[in-house]
Structure 1
Amino acid sequence: MGDIEFYKLEGKELDPKELSIQNCISVKQLITDEDYLFFELIKCKKDDSGNEYLVFDVEPSIPQNPKIDIRKRERIGVKFLANEDGKPEIYALRKDFPSAPHINYSREDTPKNLCLSINLYEEEKHKWTAAKHLQRIHRWLSLTSKNKLHLDDQPLENVFFGSPDRVMLPSSFYDFKKPVDDLALEFVPIVDQKNRIVIVGLDQEVAKSYNINSDIKIKTITIDINEPIVHGIIDLQPNNLYGLHNHLKNFNINLLSRLQSRLFQANEKDLIGYKLLLVIRIPKKRTNEGEVEAYEIITFFSPRDLLEISVGLGIYRNGPRQVRSTINHTAVDNAKIIELSILNPSSILTTKEAALYNNIDSSDNIQLSAIGLGTLGSQIIINTIKAGQGRWKLIDKDKFLPHNAARHVLPSVYMGFPKSVALDAYIKRIFIEESISSPHEMDILQSDLETLSSTFSDSEYIFDFAASVAVSRRLSLDLNLEKPIISFFLNPKGDSLVLLSESDDKSIGLDCLEMEYYKSLYSVESLADHLNTEEGIRYAQSCRDISSRIPQFSVGIHSGIGSKKIIDILSKNESPQVCIWYLTDDLSVKMTDIKPSNYKVANNESWTVKVSEDLLAKIDSRRAEKLENETGGVLIGSFDHERHIVYAVDLIASPSDSDEYPTFYIRGTDGLKEQVTEIQEKTNNNLQYIGEWHSHPDGVALTPSDDDRKLFGWIKGYMKLESYPAIMVIVGEKRSNWYVSQVDNAIEFNIGS
């Protein structure tokens, strides 16, 4: 290869037969195989630590006029570590080997270290073969000669090599549209087992709120580069201030002059005792003609005192007087001895970044309210917040007790605190720069309506995790909220998650969705034992101090589903929903999606009646099937005595022993009691018998006949024993009269559109 100069690798030459490291032997065998082209072994070596080296020539595939100076024959050295656990290191041994993308950091006057993969060797070791290793070297050289190794869709190259040492900066540094003032930050240093440094930089007000006070005081000086640079080759890793200055001169940046100007403006008291963290923000583009594609933040730390650096750069202070000299040879010499360590910067997490990491659109500005911060609520809320969704009012009346930690998102350190206060504090430790939650220690059932209305007035959605019918009814019926209410709860065994969600237009209220959920429990076969209960566990002495037995893995699965549904609802909420997710024994999840019925609403002097449109359609269908005869059956529904509301949800058709004639109907009893009992058991008595219905033929008035009045008297006497109103419905062609509590005042519902 002529007069080309090569770097020499460590160690003494070794006969190939004396190699002992298996990967090294495998590569040597392949290179020396006469059928394996493009490679030629030059020598083998071994150093005093037992590491072995192969030196060989490679003939890459290069164009006639390569864009990067890769030769038709390149000499490569590969170092195999003695313990065989480490990644083989690949060196280009030609001394004038060009700077190129995808080269690892190496010291000056040492061979360039080629980067063949971004993956950790430990993750690839099980797939590593000699053939793949040599193919990657050949491919690296071939593509680099065409300047195609760094693909157009890959991120732009960094200005400098990375560093294992890290610094976390306030997110304001990453808003490249705004200048960043020089800041005195509280930096919390952390040293790991490999002596790598992690520095967490917090705004002093933020640090104060978390009682963080570090002995190490660091001041940031931020320098913005206005002209974008073209990304390119990393060929230098400066380790002192002058080296960084010299490199940035390539981009027409006079670092020492800028730094001197910033230090000159500072007060002496703001420099004493502070170390320097130099933050440089650079816009980058792919080509000279291209647009800015990215910004890069470069951070350098100096252990020197800022006042010492200031004096070294020619800024002299005498009391209030300051003198700044030009950047002379003395300043340059001083800059050469001001050590710098490059740190790998990251932004402190923001909600917008969290949404990006979760691969969803951010809804961080939408105001939400959450009621019930227990097992399910806390986990769904945290899942959703970590996805960058919403600003939350956290509402609960309870304290965080020891047993809660078994399934709650909070750890036991929060014992005794109100759940709302504790969860708010926990959230503030996720997004330490943003206030996205507020605690409200409030009892929904005991607070007055004015206070509740004021609390929810600015919320776009109200999420109810309280698992309380009383709470959901107060929200949906007493407050007249304009915004949708969405309720999540687990069944008693914790193997099912239930969602009752009002749509944005609130076309079906939460109370009616509740009725549709109850109806599904006996009409959908797979939900037959949905409300079966397990014996609870007593955690204290009060009669109500009993907690359910629900495994955390079940809560975890269902909370993930719940948070995903919230994200979907925040994006689009056009239809009311009743959904039930059931966790099977093999941990698969099955969903029952129930299309809820609309409800018609009317009232008399005593009661409001809410009737399912599906029920009206079913009554009409049963009547049509039996014409010219009359028919009937019983009504299934529920009573809200507090608010005097009757919910008519379903029917049981005419029993088989009923008498059905053109002029009269006598309802039978065959199997009726068993059907009603089954409905009550499967719905935990939330649905029950509420009254009777029968039809009149076409052309017959819907006013009660003498027989109808007798029937109503019987119903009234029967229901009086349970303190319920009598309900009788007479159905005609496309309309129905509902007699509730009184037989002479009908509530009329049309059937159909």
Structure 2
Amino acid sequence: MQNTIFECYEFHELKEYPEKYMPLIESINENYSMDIIKIYESNLSEGLFIHIKLKISIPTNGVYRELDVNPNEEILMYARTDYPFSAPAILFVRNDFPVDRIPHLNNGVPDSNIQMMNPCLYRGDINEWFYENGPMAFCDRVNDWFSDLVNGELINDDGFETVRYENISGFVEIDFDYLLNIISTYKQDCGDCVIGMKKKGEQCFEVLNLQYDKGLDKNILPCIFVFDRKNVISDYISQPFYKEKDLKNFPCESRIQHGIRKMENKFYERKKLDELKDILIIMAVKRPMQVIGGFSEYEFIAVLLSYKLKSSADIKNCLVQKVVTIQSLNKQMTERLSGTENISKRPINILGCGALGSKISMNLARMGYTEQHLYDKDIILPHNLVRHYVSKRAAIGFPKARIMKIEMDCMFTNNSSSHFENIFDIEILPDGLTVDCTASKRSLFWSLSREIIKSPMLRTEIYLGGKMGLSLFEGKNRNPDIYDMQVSLYLKALKEDIISKWLTYKQPEDMRYHIGFGCNSDTMVLDDATISNHASVVPHLINKYKVEENGIACINIFDFDNLSNNRLYIYEIEPMVFLSSVDGWHIHIKRSLYQKIKEYSKEGTENAGIWIGCIEKRIKRITVIDTFIPKDNKRDTNSVVIGKEGVKEYIRSLNERTNGLLRYIGEWHTHTSGNASPSQRDIKSFEETKVSTDGFLMTIISPTNTQNYIIKGKNNEYKRL
């Protein structure tokens, strides 16, 4: 047959063939658009070749873009010897089939000697698709592909469709953004330059983001980058590359010779380059629209040119091998692959790079949080390898923060920094979200007492022997802050068992291990998978709640003894009202609670109740989170006597459910008129109050103002603003 594949290769008709191909042949016979002509084997490649006449329904207004496609086309369906575990391939019988104007093509058939262009029937793994859907659906898919072709529906306007290459000689990792910067800053419309690259394996290369020069490390070799930013090439690649002259359809091909001369004259180092058998050539071909899989309209095509430097060979006849270009990992690709392109990302300060912190840090980096500042004054010890993100023995003895930066640098260029210093010695913390992974009370109180943290921070810890993870994300302007959020969460223990269980949990003595050198560092027995589960929640909290007005508390239950118990709780924690400080003590009260008490001051009779909360002397903080108003209060216009009904029962329940973390810390009463100054009766009451704690808060609320008094000491001294 003239002008067909049969002219190029020998085909031998078969009368018998293996039984495994029968379902495919039967499916073709049942397909309304396909008629089998003959069945062959060939020296082209092992397997079965089924010659088919394909009936194509041509649109009434003609074939899209007047492509040379006929109502009856002949195709070859090629099934390899590993059928049905691999999908058949479709080969065009006509040698002049208009492949240079058709998207969705493969160059070659995988694991075969076939190098011809053929339809790309499925963007994903066609072999998996075929095994799941079978030969009947495959024949229908072939019909659909040719129907889409003649109707102009192969192109989805989602980008320029590049050819898929099979049986290639390797791949090269390139930072496309680096090459685009060279193109945009070059003085002329077309050009060439010599760039450094490394050979990472027999079939793997990495182009470095640096201009090649003499005297570089012996492992850094030159490659040539050529481009043309003026001429737009709309045709698709329509033939395999065998010799350099096959590249002439690309205008930038003319610059390859210039690049070789630069290597020979300007950068030639005999000892280093004489053994260079193949030269890596990268061409930037401008396409009419953004290239699928890239960030620009340039398609980067790479080949290995068999050329020996300082030879007189004509490069046009030198052999070339196709090398697939792969976008190296950068922030943009990281965001695209993780689906976080539309999430704004602030810098991250990581306090603590241990088992939990290291995983949170890397999860964030892989989502595009590429600017991280890592703080940890600790080194990797052998036991850390069981649960740390880093598992290489070579890391033992290195600072944890530094190792994490190295891990990020291995993935992509980033703006991260590592700091081997005591957290409490930090004088300046970069602006950004601070994530505290230290599980240290000292760190918690340091973050509250120092003013170097300006933005809301997130603190995460693991409790209940690993079965509970708690993450607290501060509200706007750090209100509520981590401490007040914890106290607010304590109150929920009155109604929610999981929180009460957390607050009353006692760690078994046999869970305590002393490790490290010359220290007693306590840890829990916990597997890496459980820590990873808790760490995986934190990046999602950051993505979703970073602009919330309220604080967000997240409890993650991962019960490895009973997986059906696993669940997640999200609580919104409202901001606090900051009352005037007294004698250096800061008084914070839940906003809705304060508004409620203020309303009582507008009533015709005075009212009173007890304050519930926490007093933390290490930061001189009084946090008021609830009140209890006895039903037997004796209320009058100018006085109130606080009752006792239900008080003991409530305090007992509070103590049991919160393990004593929430306490009766003071009292309040209202004045119905005037200001909040204490009356003679109030002063007498202050003097008679017996205090056995660090302090006792007395609050007077009037319609016009609020005043706080702190009673402390054995002499019942009280101070106010």
| TM bin (shorter chain) | 0.7 to 0.9
Q: 1:233 to 1:633 in 2, by over 3 A?
A: closer
Partner-residue secondary structure (3-state), 1:741: strand
Q: 1:12 to 1:480 in 2, by over 3 A?
A: closer
2:69 corresponds to: 70
Alignment of 1:578 onto 2:552: yes
Q: 1:264 to 1:44 in 2, by over 3 A?
A: closer
Quote how far apart the aligned CAs of 1:198 are. 1.8
**Equivalences for residues 588-627 of structure 1 within 5 A:** 588-605=566-583, 607-620=585-598
Q: 1:677 to 1:183 in 2, by over 3 A?
A: farther
Alignment of 1:45 onto 2:40: yes
Alignment of 1:404 onto 2:384: yes
Quote how far apart the aligned CAs of 1:335 are. 3.3
Quote how far apart the aligned CAs of 1:369 are. 1.9
**Equivalences for residues 149-168 of structure 1 within 5 A:** 149-158=154-163, 163=168, 165-168=170-173
2:437 maps to amino acid: F
Task: Choose 416-425 or 678-687, whichever is displaced more.
Answer: 678-687
Q: 1:379 to 1:263 in 2, by over 3 A?
A: closer
1:21 maps to amino acid: E
2:541 corresponds to: 565
Q: What do residues 82-111 of structure 1 show as CA deviations (whole Å, max 9, x unaligned)?
A: 442332232222344333523433599987
> Counterparts of 1:606 and 1:134 in 2: how far apart (Å)?
81
Alignment of 1:416 onto 2:416: no
> Counterparts of 2:259 and 2:423 in 1: how far apart (Å)?
58
Answer yes or no: is the 8 Å Cα contact 2:192–2:256 preserved in 1: no
**Equivalences for residues 530-545 of structure 1 within 5 A:** 530-531=502-503, 532-535=505-508, 536-540=511-515, 544-545=520-521
2:339 corresponds to: 359
Q: 1:576 to 1:490 in 2, by over 3 A?
A: farther
Relative to the length of structure 1, the TM-score reads: 0.79
Q: What do residues 51-101 of structure 1 show as CA deviations (whole Å, max 9, x unaligned)?
A: 333222122112464322122222222233344233223222234433352
Quote how far apart the aligned CAs of 1:465 are. 2.1
Alignment of 1:444 onto 2:423: yes
Quote how far apart the aligned CAs of 1:393 are. 1.5
Name stretches of at least 5 consecutive residues in structure 2 with no aligned partner.
none
> Counterparts of 2:409 and 2:115 in 1: how far apart (Å)?
48
Partner-residue secondary structure (3-state), 2:564: coil
Alignment of 1:188 onto 2:167: no
Task: Select 1:556's aligned residue among 522, 527, 532.
Answer: 532
In the alignment of these two chains, the number of paired residues is 682
Alignment of 1:478 onto 2:450: yes
> Counterparts of 2:306 and 2:70 in 1: how far apart (Å)?
43
Partner-residue secondary structure (3-state), 1:388: coil
1:200 corresponds to: 206
2:709 maps to amino acid: Y
Task: Select 1:237's aligned residue among 226, 234, 240.
Answer: 240
Partner-residue secondary structure (3-state), 1:163: coil
Quote how far apart the aligned CAs of 1:474 are. 1.8
> Counterparts of 1:44 and 1:368 in 2: how far apart (Å)?
64
Task: Choose 535-544 or 223-232, whichever is displaced more.
Answer: 535-544
1:25 maps to amino acid: M
> Counterparts of 2:222 and 2:361 in 1: how far apart (Å)?
37
1:740 corresponds to: 710
Q: What do residues 345-402 of structure 1 show as CA deviations (whole Å, max 9, x unaligned)?
A: 1232122321222222388985432212223222111111111114122112223333
1:315 corresponds to: none
Quote how far apart the aligned CAs of 1:127 are. 3.0
> Counterparts of 2:88 and 2:165 in 1: how far apart (Å)?
23
Q: What do residues 18-57 of structure 1 show as CA deviations (whole Å, max 9, x unaligned)?
A: 44333x3234334445xx5333322233569983332221
2:223 corresponds to: 220
2:121 maps to amino acid: L
2:284 corresponds to: 281
1:115 corresponds to: 120
1:325 corresponds to: none
Q: What do residues 266-302 of structure 1 show as CA deviations (whole Å, max 9, x unaligned)?
A: 2433754445211111211159xxxx96111111123
Answer yes or no: is the 8 Å Cα contact 2:107–2:115 preserved in 1: no
> Counterparts of 1:97 and 1:254 in 2: how far apart (Å)?
28
Answer yes or no: is the 8 Å Cα contact 2:226–2:256 preserved in 1: no
> Counterparts of 2:378 and 2:46 in 1: how far apart (Å)?
65
> Counterparts of 2:256 and 2:521 in 1: how far apart (Å)?
69
> Counterparts of 1:222 and 1:645 in 2: how far apart (Å)?
64
Quote how far apart the aligned CAs of 1:705 are. 5.3
Task: Select 1:467's aligned residue among 439, 447, 469.
Answer: 439
Q: 1:133 to 1:594 in 2, by over 3 A?
A: closer
Quote how far apart the aligned CAs of 1:482 are. 3.5
Quote how far apart the aligned CAs of 1:700 are. 8.1
Answer yes or no: is the 8 Å Cα contact 2:675–2:704 preserved in 1: no
Alignment of 1:528 onto 2:500: yes
2:135 corresponds to: 130
Q: 1:553 to 1:300 in 2, by over 3 A?
A: same
Alignment of 1:725 onto 2:701: no
Q: What do residues 168-189 of structure 1 show as CA deviations (whole Å, max 9, x unaligned)?
A: 1345224342459744535133
Answer yes or no: is the 8 Å Cα contact 1:602–1:747 preserved in 2: no
Name stretches of at least 5 consecutive residues in structure 1 with no aligned partner.
192-196, 207-211, 313-330, 749-753
Relative to the length of structure 2, the TM-score reads: 0.82
Task: Choose 396-405 or 173-182, whichever is displaced more.
Answer: 173-182
> Counterparts of 1:702 and 1:153 in 2: how far apart (Å)?
69
2:25 corresponds to: 28
Percent identity for Structure 1 against Structure 2: 18
Partner-residue secondary structure (3-state), 2:269: helix
> Counterparts of 1:550 and 1:588 in 2: how far apart (Å)?
17
Alignment of 1:647 onto 2:623: yes
Answer yes or no: is the 8 Å Cα contact 1:158–1:234 preserved in 2: yes
Q: 1:124 to 1:109 in 2, by over 3 A?
A: closer
2:285 maps to amino acid: I
2:330 maps to amino acid: T
> Counterparts of 1:412 and 1:263 in 2: how far apart (Å)?
39
Partner-residue secondary structure (3-state), 1:505: helix
> Counterparts of 1:441 and 1:167 in 2: how far apart (Å)?
36
Partner-residue secondary structure (3-state), 1:117: coil
Task: Select 2:184's aligned residue among 177, 187, 190.
Answer: 177
> Counterparts of 1:701 and 1:133 in 2: how far apart (Å)?
85
> Counterparts of 2:114 and 2:445 in 1: how far apart (Å)?
77
Alignment of 1:690 onto 2:681: no
> Counterparts of 1:653 and 1:543 in 2: how far apart (Å)?
50
Alignment of 1:307 onto 2:310: yes
Partner-residue secondary structure (3-state), 1:229: coil
Task: Select 1:350's aligned residue among 330, 353, 360.
Answer: 330
Q: 1:606 to 1:164 in 2, by over 3 A?
A: same
Cα-Cα RMSD: 3.9
Q: 1:504 to 1:40 in 2, by over 3 A?
A: same
> Counterparts of 1:613 and 1:143 in 2: how far apart (Å)?
63
Task: Select 1:375's aligned residue among 355, 358, 370.
Answer: 355
Quote how far apart the aligned CAs of 1:657 are. 6.7
Partner-residue secondary structure (3-state), 1:529: helix
